[in-house]
Structure 1
Amino acid sequence: MLEVKNLTKKYPKFNLENVNLSLPKGQIMGFIGKNGAGKSTTIKSILNLVTPNSGEVDIFGMNLINHELEIKKRIGVVLGGIDFYQQKKTEQIANVMSRFYDTWDHQAFKKYMQEFEIDPIKAPKELSAGMKVKFMIALALSHKAELLILDEPTSGLDPVSRDDLLNLFSQIVATGERSILFSTHITSDIEKCADSISYIKDGKILKSALKKEFMDSFSYLKRPSETGPLSLEEIMIRVEGEKHYDL
């Protein structure tokens, strides 16, 4: 579904260096790293929202640069900080969105809105943070998106709303026909629903593997007194280095 090869993006004070990722069909990949590590830059480079200095992105077996329009009609994207017209009804926004996709299914949109319990006559300003994310996912599924790319979709949500969304992610990929790449700093979300984990640190991929292999690869961080497996949060804290402050 997604193959990223040696992706590089250079900024004056930050470099994304030789990022490699591979996401098969029917899987969820959790993309982790502390703030500023390069998660959003990687996602924007994958989508060609920023122009990489080098590297290649293949989606559905096609090169993104050569087949950008065709590819983008088949993916769904949820980026933090992007919002809709606050006064427009959600059904009006959907009508505008439908003009961009040949595969748009109005009946599917109505079904998802009902399943997600979103009132079509409400405006985005009347929706909670969790409902806004669900609305964006409903839009993506209504044009039959095969790959969902989500940047911090659960950030700022309460635990119940987050759990609801994670269950939804699992249902989306259950048929084996769709895949999800989502970045987050909430490690418990990754542990609950991801099939694989990719960890970026200082602009470089530290590790990318299936979840069990990923977790096992950091067992060397365990302390002699610890018997059980480390959590993903403990792995990140120890990899990034525990800082002590003179207060």
Structure 2
Amino acid sequence: MTAILEVNHLSKRYKKSEFALRDVSLTIPSGSIVGFIGQNGAGKSTTMGAVLGTLYKDQGVIRVFGQEMHTDNQLLKEDIGVVYDDMKLPKAITIKKLEKVLKRIYKCWNQRTFHHYIKLFNLPNDKKLQDFSRGMSMKLSVAVALSHEAKLLILDEATAGLDPSGREEVLDVLKAFVENQEKGILMSSHITSDIEKIADQLVFIKDGEIVLKVEKEELLNSYAIATCEEKQYKKIVNHHHVVAHRKIENGEVQILFNNREAILPPLEVQPFSIDDVTLLLMKGEKR
């Protein structure tokens, strides 16, 4: 399976900041949706900015459709659709006027596709964008990203501000986008239930470093979380199936295993969600 996006050993530092992106690597295979998960300030937006060429990287190689991405590679950027958590569109105009602008910006602008999504999302053509609700603005941004023949979508909190019905609508559209196996999506969201619904792979980032990359089905079906007393954890801390741990109330330790079959009595497997794994990885420590 060919890769839509390859990020290899990406590093980025900022002046007058302790934060740094360190050796970040991830891949989006054709036809897949990769969920990018981490706290605010973990490095998601910095990684996305480097992929888009809006940020200079210090080290690393980024390839989109097999071609190396540079900050001035405009032709390659045409093939990438972007949705941020706040609308990056002029707000004093209507959708009708916006489309005239977009036709001049994108060489492959598809008017028919745009009108399809505007109708699907029930967006008003004659209302100024500044009067849109946040949910309407997010839907419009998604419609724009899908209407210039993009093959890669970069979505930074694209479902933020949407009600459950609107989120389901957008998620269905995103799943349909990758169905032909020639496109891919990198999606960050604090709503991990959205990622759980549509992602094929999960990439967890913390303090500028990738702490876990895993297929979603493998995580849900093979990984496990268990809790024990701290003295008991010390006996298994070097177990090669332990991924991470964190101390919780009552002096107990919560442990993430990459193989639930490795959990032996008196430890017991606990029901968990991607949200639980995220909390453990972000608040805990790797083995």
TM-score, structure 1 length as denominator?
0.90
Partner of 1:237: 279
In 1, Cα distance between the equivalents of 2:135 and 2:166? 6
AA of the residue aligned to 2:8: K
How many residues of Structure 1 are paired with residues of Structure 2 in the alignment?
241
In 2, Cα distance between the equivalents of 1:13 and 1:201? 14
Identity of aligned residues (%): 38
Q: What does 1:11-22 correspond to in 2, within 5 Å?
A: 11=14, 12-22=17-27
User: Residue 241 and residue 108 in structure 1: after superposition, are their counterparts in 2 closer, same or farther (change >3 A)?
Assistant: closer
AA of the residue aligned to 2:28: L
User: Residue 21 and residue 111 in structure 1: after superposition, are their counterparts in 2 closer, same or farther (change >3 A)?
Assistant: same
Maintained 8 Å contact 1:207/1:214? no
Partner of 1:10: 13
Maintained 8 Å contact 2:121/2:139? yes
**Residue of structure 2 aligned with 1:129, choices 114, 126, 134:** 134
* Higher RCO structure, 1 or 2 (CA under 8 Å, sep 6+): 1
Determine helix, strand or coil for the equivalent of 1:34: coil
Maintained 8 Å contact 1:208/1:214? no
Residue range with higher mean Cα deviation, 116-125 or 145-154? 116-125
1:152 pairs with 2:157 = yes
Partner of 2:245: none
1:222 pairs with 2:226 = yes
**Residue of structure 2 aligned with 1:112, choices 109, 114, 117:** 117
Q: What does 1:56-75 correspond to in 2, within 5 Å?
A: 56-65=61-70, 68-75=73-80
Deviations 1:2-34 (A, max 9, x none): 000000001221010000010011111110011
**Residue of structure 1 aligned with 2:196, choices 168, 178, 191:** 191
Maintained 8 Å contact 1:152/1:182? yes
**Residue of structure 1 aligned with 2:178, choices 150, 173, 177:** 173
Determine helix, strand or coil for the equivalent of 1:80: coil
Structure 1 spans left out of the alignment, 5+ residues = 243-247
Partner of 1:245: none
In 2, Cα distance between the equivalents of 1:52 and 1:3? 15
Q: What does 1:72-87 correspond to in 2, within 5 Å?
A: 72-87=77-92
Q: Which has the larger radius of gyration?
A: 2
Deviations 1:189-223 (A, max 9, x none): 1111111111001111111222122445642x323
Greater strand share, 1 or 2?
Answer: 2
TM-score, structure 2 length as denominator?
0.78
**Residue of structure 2 aligned with 1:200, choices 194, 205, 211:** 205
Maintained 8 Å contact 1:108/1:142? yes
Partner of 2:261: none
In 2, Cα distance between the equivalents of 1:79 and 1:66? 19
1:37 deviation in Å?
0.9
Determine helix, strand or coil for the equivalent of 1:103: coil
Deviations 1:61-116 (A, max 9, x none): 10011872111111101122343222201121121011122211222222221122
Structure 2 spans left out of the alignment, 5+ residues = 228-265
1:47 pairs with 2:52 = yes
